[in-house]
A and B are shown apart, each in its own frame.
Chain A
């Protein structure tokens, strides 16, 4: 997994609450058996005027000029500014895959849906929760000043505005450690193999029916 340390990125504001993962990556693209290549279809139904299907060349499609990701001033953005309950709905990890593939490295919102929040950390994306009034202010600053950038420092747990304001955020220490170092969860878990084995041996006695399997 890609490590996340410090990011100085252009910000794109997506001013909608309850943005669901169906909107982030529509269902027809979930038929892929690959992990990469979802970026061109990020927010597909909002981003294009024509209907998208897997395999289409995005260069030949009609972009929706009214959708914020298509504004030239936000081209190359790596920080997504969002509203409450971002990433609600389906558990599809294709949503963070699409954001990552597009180039989004950090998302700032007043709140996130649980599964999406968790999925971000598995894919090198940092979801940052800031107070709703602060987010509201960032939206205004971003929309009124061209080339608005934010500096995100995961180690220091801060977001710094162009005006020099430093905003602190919370992040779980375990997740922070793994994201800072780009560590693979499975490798870490396997260090606990003896404990997993001991648990299984105990449960085999306490609850033997849990080990009779799905192959009766």
Chain B
């Protein structure tokens, strides 16, 4: 019999009950809650006269709607304000811990979970947000759910699931200088497509993954959903354990020793088999830039906008044609000649301390180009912001002409006041370049933090390796 995959180990540890057809009632260890996808779930709970089964397993934070400018006056938009106040009221009523907008621990839900040690190896982690795949970086089984399932987890602490197929994405070799986890993520999506991971849980492995920091692994797992996979994961190793140790909600003392003993088993066995294996050579990955309206529409900084006539199918030809029209780009244009008007460094993909260090190392001693109307840096949490300020990163950004903001989801999805105007082109470290994602008519190009900072200073995309 072959060995077990990491997915199988995590799955088996959480099985409560199995129906004859294989549908499984899976136990959920951690439930992350934010203001956008929870109000209707709490309302459903209330209407049915139910209460959360384990309020202690949930943690809440407002992130999508919060302003990234001065917060002392609260939220100006009354609709956004009501949504955040509804979260506050629901958490107070049901005894759920919430990091409110004025708490220094407030931030993007997928940044604060790991930062506080609320996300731990071996856990099942869910949240009403597709980027919950992020937490798989810790050797956890984590995935996004809809609001009905948010209500279901609140009421039962379980979810009905069927096991996913398994995919191993193996990245061997060494990444070149200036090439980051974001570039690996985009290169993988370019390779397998935005639906390539549909129905799969992806495990990222290989030498290049092992050398990534936890921040890098989170960036990679965060983007698993952009490849269609609900869950992405990386095996536990010493890097994982070192990151978790001493975090506020991490176990201590004897419980720590007991936990680490189990966590050290959380990797796929050497003889485990996967339903699909994809291999990439890290040394061949170059800085990536998307050119279209889906993350799979990606090329390298030295690439050109493709010609729809070269598309592999009729459906794709139409997609590419529509994408170029929306993006205002002509086929054949070198990406390095595409100028940007806005730059956004932030989001659950790239707003952690390492991301800000990479961006600051490029911005240091440079100035934001005159054609760039706004370049903003939005830290992932209040604690990331504090850490960055202690390291002087805020000064580097401000002196270069970037705006230094308060933490939140911000212009990744533009639910607050931060957004693109119609036709504006943006270099963004976020995860989705869909039509209208950053504001109606806005044109998004996904890049790494270093590439975004370089684009801000050059005024157009540029190869950060030679900048």
Binding site for B on A (CB under 8 A): 15-18, 20, 22-23, 26-28, 30-35, 45, 51, 54-55, 83-85, 88-93, 96, 111-115, 118-119, 122-123, 172-174, 185-186, 189-190, 192, 195-196, 199-200, 203, 207-216
CA distance A212 to B259 in the complex (A): 13
CA distance A189 to B148 in the complex (A): 13
A-chain residues with CB within 8 Å of residue B86 when the two chains form the complex = 33
CB distance from B415 to the nearest CB of A (A): 5
**Does B145 contact A115, Cβ atoms closer than 8 Å?**
yes
A-chain residues with CB within 8 Å of residue B380 when the two chains form the complex = none
Please choose the segment from B3-11, B22-30, B177-185, B282-290 that sits at the chain A interface, where 4 or more of its residues have CB less than 8 A away.
Answer: B22-30
Binding site for A on B (CB under 8 A): 16-17, 19, 21, 23, 25, 27, 29-30, 36-37, 39-40, 43-44, 48, 50, 53, 56-59, 64-65, 77, 79-80, 82-83, 86, 96-97, 118, 120, 122-123, 128-130, 132, 143-149, 151-152, 155-158, 160, 162, 194-195, 198-199, 228-230, 248-249, 251, 255-256, 258-259, 262, 294, 315-316, 318-319, 322, 413-415, 432, 434-437, 440
**Does B21 contact A31, Cβ atoms closer than 8 Å?**
no
CA distance A209 to B157 in the complex (A): 16
Contact A22 B37, CB 8 Å, known A33-B86, A185-B152, A214-B58: no
Task: Return the contact of B194 from the options A85, A93, A115 (Cβ within 8 A).
Answer: A85
**Does B148 contact A119, Cβ atoms closer than 8 Å?**
yes
**Does A33 contact B40, Cβ atoms closer than 8 Å?**
yes
**Does B198 contact A114, Cβ atoms closer than 8 Å?**
yes
B-chain residues with CB within 8 Å of residue A33 when the two chains form the complex = 39-40, 43, 82-83, 86
Minimum CB distance partner of A186 in chain B: B155
CA distance A192 to B155 in the complex (A): 12
CB distance from A185 to the nearest CB of B (A): 6
A-chain residues with CB within 8 Å of residue B434 when the two chains form the complex = 20, 22-23, 89
CB distance from B348 to the nearest CB of A (A): 12
**Does A199 contact B435, Cβ atoms closer than 8 Å?**
no
Task: Return the contact of A189 from the options B158, B199, B413 (Cβ within 8 A).
Answer: B158
**Does A88 contact B440, Cβ atoms closer than 8 Å?**
no
**Does A115 contact B146, Cβ atoms closer than 8 Å?**
yes
CB distance from A198 to the nearest CB of B (A): 8
Minimum CB distance partner of A85 in chain B: B195
Known: A114-B229, A185-B160. 14 other contacts (CB 8 A): A18-B195, A22-B434, A31-B83, A84-B195, A85-B228, A88-B228, A90-B130, A118-B145, A174-B19, A185-B152, A186-B48, A186-B156, A199-B27, A212-B251
Minimum CB distance partner of B255 in chain A: A209
CB distance from B416 to the nearest CB of A (A): 10
Contact A196 B16, CB 8 Å, known A31-B83, A214-B58: yes
Q: Which of A27, A34, A207 has the most CB of B within 10 A?
A: A27
B-chain residues with CB within 8 Å of residue A84 when the two chains form the complex = 195, 315
**Does B198 contact A113, Cβ atoms closer than 8 Å?**
yes
CA distance A113 to B143 in the complex (A): 13
**Does A196 contact B57, Cβ atoms closer than 8 Å?**
no
A-chain residues with CB within 8 Å of residue B258 when the two chains form the complex = 207-209
Complex A-B, nearest 10 residue pairs according to Cβ-Cβ distance, in ascending order:
A213-B56, A209-B251, A93-B146, A122-B148, A33-B39, A119-B146, A91-B144, A85-B195, A91-B130, A93-B147
CA distance A76 to B195 in the complex (A): 30
Minimum CB distance partner of B56 in chain A: A213
Contact A17 B432, CB 8 Å, known A28-B415, A215-B56: no
Task: Return the contact of B123 from the options A27, A118, A210, A216 (Cβ within 8 A).
Answer: A210
A-chain residues with CB within 8 Å of residue B82 when the two chains form the complex = 31, 33
B-chain residues with CB within 8 Å of residue A123 when the two chains form the complex = 148
A-chain residues with CB within 8 Å of residue B316 when the two chains form the complex = 17
A-chain residues with CB within 8 Å of residue B152 when the two chains form the complex = 185-186, 189
Interchain residue pairs with CB less than 8 A apart (11): A17-B319, A18-B194, A22-B434, A34-B40, A35-B44, A89-B434, A92-B37, A186-B152, A189-B152, A208-B255, A214-B30
